[in-house]
Structure 1
């Protein structure tokens, strides 16, 4: 397939766009009529909004995969204003092993991120001693969880970070922690210039930044969906392997745990590939862009990129894994969760949300799956707080 640069510099992108949507808009209209009749819906268990939301996303993902469009990262405040932060990488000595090996194709770079509803920095005490005696330490700030969120998109597509932060915070404050702050970080989208471990470096940078604000590791929750969930698992593995401070919890929705060309081919032959939002061209693009090219990967690297069959000890972190029962990659997620549970000392919960497709969490506003997303968050909260 041509690169995004090629498409943008030639008239073929416009021609393809016209042709693609001239075919797919009538198809979506047909699906709209079909899905309005419950007995003949594509997936009988789904309502109209869920059916059409998945169909729209599926078409959009195929279009983006063919033209290879990647949303530019936000590196300036924009509409987020003072909620935007540009995070410098931490000390270079923290990047070691697979994140700092000489063979790594990428080096750490600044990371753009958006807070919601505000940066969790305690306000300075008011003037005067307020009844305190000289030398008394100031009272500790109230505890509140910080959620660092990495959105999905097969490693190659981007989302509006401000909108994501608002959507996730809207759920988290009502159903996870009413004092939570959400940091929606923007990792480098995968390309030949930024394959693994670029995105893992970026999430690790965001985590170190939050710790640098004085937030205790036990109050940090790493959260992600699909490819973003894969990055969460990679950072957890890195922290455990390198003996670094680990977060109190991690919540992953629909994690992409088998990032290989063989797995994509297997999915292409499955029944789910005909109804779920995971479109084969998007997955092929993600695998090709994220996996480093031109050399044989080590088993250690494979564990970070494709964690299925590569379980690891969590030590200090509780891990909550959720997947929809109609997720096209449900089987691989359930196997991975079982493998993680079997590691001595790990505290892992696997939760199945019935009749949900892939990544119903991030896309809940379009799919109408807020109730299911909230229920999963409440279950995750109870598990992480036990």
Structure 2
């Protein structure tokens, strides 16, 4: 949080009243204007989509202005036994290079996560295997690296999609990666996703049964993890804990390129006071830093996405790397991050269709 704003709670209250005094009437005006189809932001949009995006935009502008960050979940709370606090791997060899550089401002740390609809438990005498094959989605939500989501609500919504017949996963692990601050920037979020990935492997889930899914900034982190995993395999760590072939699905993975609303997130995520190497730049910004994949990659974008041109370029760069298996699809007229926002904008049908395409590709 920004101390300049939060040092005075009375100021926050006054500012908040002023903000919503302006935006509530504006939203009411839009609720009338959007009844006229040609006046909607995109004429093909439904009324719900038009108003949902308007409300979400106002909310996220408010959150961004206050520098508010979703508090990290440290106790089970409503999640009960589906909550897990994951310790980073003890094997120091897993943190070579960028992940373990002495100059890295973020270090490996415990990670909070929530399972849906039920936890995956490693087989033991007290929890014998039921013989059921697990297909696990490890999920990283968006938020421009700085704005988190309620883990209980978000995991429930996303799990409802990925465990449906459209995708067929059995379990989802919603990773509450560290939100970026000046004191805790890159590679914090990637380290946390990596820790979660190693945890799922440690539960006995085969890499071929793991799918990494990320939205927006979460898609960026998934790509960074894929880059890291390729590096580990290149170093010869092709054993039972890192071998095989997992899969990845990224929605709008280059959110931090070119939009004013994401400047705050980029500023917090990029380490300050140190010159970044080309390797570090590749992890932070996948644009213009394509890499060899060790896993198939499915990329989905909305046709009304403000950064569509950048995403198209990035997808092409990845597809052009010899040996890469990449599929890119544009869902006509959809806005940025429609997958995570589907309950609010009425994009369940489009999200399910995206998952069906991804499943066919990733399993093909």
TM-score category (smaller protein)? over 0.9
Work out the CA distance in 2 between the residues paired with 1:223 and 1:239.
Answer: 15
Cα RMSD between the aligned structures?
1.8
- Unaligned runs of 5+ residues in structure 1 are 128-137, 268-279
Residue 291 (structure 2) pairs with residue 291 (structure 1): no
Residue 163 (structure 2) pairs with residue 173 (structure 1): yes
- Alignment of structure 1 residues 1-386 onto 2, 5 Å: 3-10=1-8, 11-91=10-90, 92-121=92-121, 141-243=131-233, 244=237, 245=242, 247-256=245-254, 259=256, 263-264=257-258, 267=259, 280=260, 282-315=261-294, 317-386=295-364
Work out the CA distance in 1 between the residues paired with 2:63 and 2:124.
Answer: 47
Work out the CA distance in 1 between the residues paired with 2:25 and 2:54.
Answer: 12
Report the CA distance between 1:144 and its aligned residue.
2.3
Work out the CA distance in 1 between the residues paired with 2:28 and 2:74.
Answer: 38
Work out the CA distance in 1 between the residues paired with 2:218 and 2:264.
Answer: 16
Contact 1:175/1:377 (8 A) holds in 2: no
Report the CA distance between 1:140 and its aligned residue.
8.0
Contact 2:137/2:169 (8 A) holds in 1: no
Report the CA distance between 1:119 and its aligned residue.
1.3
Report the CA distance between 1:45 and its aligned residue.
1.5
Report the CA distance between 1:176 and its aligned residue.
4.0
Higher gyration radius (CA): 1
Work out the CA distance in 2 between the residues paired with 1:198 and 1:122.
Answer: 26
Pick closer, same or farther for the CA change 1:214–1:20 going to 2, 3 Å. Answer: same
TM-score, normalised to structure 2's length?
0.93
Report the CA distance between 1:123 and its aligned residue.
6.2
SS of corresponding position for 1:207: helix
TM-score, normalised to structure 1's length?
0.88
